[in-house]
Structure 1
C-alpha cells in the first residue's frame, strides 16, 4: 500500500513539472515573438478630391521707385528717413535754390524792361503812322519801328521761356513723393552735393504689395487663380496677379505673383504691417481630375520595381505596389488601389522584410 502511494506521488510530481515546463515554453515563445517583432508607426489611407499643397512666397512691393533730382545742387534739407511712411506730394528733399531764384529775378527785371520798351515802341508806331498821313515822315520810318516791335516781341518771348525754365528749376529743387508709400533706402545726407539723375531715395508702394512665389512646370498647366498667404497674424486671401512666361534657366521654376483681393481693405492693411522681403507659406488648393488616395511621402519605398508601400496585415508587413501620381511637400498622391481601412507603415520602411512581424505603436 505504501508502495502504491509513493508511485502515485511521483507520477503527480512528474505531471506538475511537465505542466510548468509547457507553460514556460509558451511564455518564452510569446516573449520571443514580441522581442523579434519590429515596432512601427502607421498611417491611414485618405481619399481626396482636392489637392492642397504649399510653396514659399516672398512679400514684395508691386512698385519700387528710384528717386533723383532733375537739377543739381547742395542738399539743404531731407525731412524723411528710412522707414518713414509718406503721402503723395510729401516733400522728401530740398536743394539750395538761391542761384535759380536769382536767375528768375534777373529775368523778371529784363522782361519788365522789354515790356516797357515794347509799350514805347507801340506808341512811337502810332505817332509815326499819324505823321505819315500828313507826310511828315517816310514809310521807311514806319517800317523801322515795326521791325523794332517785332524784335522786342521775339526777345520778350525768349525771356519768358527762360523765366519759365528758371521757375521749373526752382520747383525741381524740391523732390516730392510721386505716390504714397514707404521710404526704403536713403542715399544722401544734408549738405552733400548732388547731380541731376543721381539716385537719392527708394520709395516703395505699400498699398500695392504682391507675393512672389516660384512654381515647377507641372503646376503651370492648371495654375490656381486663388491662394492663401499664411502669416503669424492669420491667413490672407490672394488672387493671381501675373506670371512669367519663361522658367528660370537655372532652377527651372516659374515666377508667379499673387496679390490681395482688390476690395479687401483689411487684407491690404494687414500686408502693409508685415516686414517686406519676409517669406511666408502660400497654400494652394485645386480640384483633382480624379479621386485619388493620399499617403505620407515617407511611406513610399522603391526597391527597383517601382513605388511600393508596406501594409500591415495580421501584424505582418506586406509589400504592396502603388501607382504614384505626384509627390510634393512630403505628401504622395496615388491611384486608389488600396483598401479604405489599410494601415500603411510611414517611417522606417527600409528596415522591413516581407512577412516580418510588426507591432503598431500609434494605433
Structure 2
C-alpha cells in the first residue's frame, strides 16, 4: 500500500528542519506506518539538531499518537485501523531480533535515518516493537506525550525509585519531564514534593501537578531550602529522593546534596539522587557527600518503563482525573510551524510540553 506523507528532515550540516513529501511504498517485514494525530517535541532532540559532529540527515521525534495504516508482512501485534502510541523504548524483549532503524529516501535520492524511531511528520515508519496499542479512550494530548515525557518523568518515580507514600521528593527542573515526575510523586503519595527551577511560571505550573512546595534556585539557596522543608526524626535533613531532570552535569552534585544522609551505626542509609535528564558531558561529584552520607546515585532510562504495562497505568491516571495532560501541553503548533516549536523549546519559552497537531 503506497502512502503519501510529509516528513520533517534535518539535513546534514543544517539546524533547520525541512518538511518534505515522500511516498512510502516499501516496508520492511516488521515495519508499521502510523498516520499521526499529534506528537511531542522533546528537549533531547535539540541535542541532535545542534550537534556539530552530525554528518548525515536525520529523522527526529519519539513520542506520538496515531493510527496504523500499513504493516509489513511479519507484523502480528497491530493491524491497519489500530490506534497506537509510539515510543522509543521497545514494548517487549526483542528475542534476539535487532530492529533496523528506518531509512527514508526522498525524491532526488537524498535519504535520512534515525536512532530507532521517528515521529515528526504526518506519518511515521517504526518497528512494531516501538508501538503500543492505545488503551480505549486515550486522549490525544496524553497520547502525544506518553511515549517520552510521561514515561520518563513519572516512570522514574514509579519504577526506578519505587517511591512510597510519605517519602519526600525533590524534582530538579520543572519542564515537561519534571512536571511528569512531580505528578507521579504526588499520585504515589510522596510528601513533601518540592519543585526546583529558575522560572516562576514553571514553578506555578508545578503546583498544579502536585508540588507541595516550590523553590526558585535563582532567588535562594535550593539545597538549604529543601533541607529546611525536610526534617526527619533521626535529625537528618534532606529528601528521600531527588530527581534531577535538568540534564545539566554541574547540577548533579547540587541535587545530590539535597538528599538526606544516612545515620552511621544504625543501618539507616541515605537517600538517592536519580538521574532522569541526560548529562551530555562528564560531571564531577562530591565523593565525600556520596560516601559519608551513604547516598545512592541512580541512573534510569525512559523511567525504567515497560510501555505495554505502564501506559495502561498512565491512561488510568488520566481517566480518574489524577493526571491532567491538557495542562501539560502548554504550547501547540502545526506541522509547518515545527521549526518555531523547536526554537521556542531551545529558548526556554515552553513551560510544559510542546505538541504538534496534525490536521485531517
TM over 0.5: no
The structure that has the greater radius of gyration is: 1
Q: Which has the higher contact order (CA 8 A, sep 6+)?
A: 1
Q: TM-score, normalised by structure 2?
A: 0.21
Q: Which has the higher helix share?
A: 1
Q: Which has the higher strand share?
A: 1
Q: TM-score, normalised by structure 1?
A: 0.20
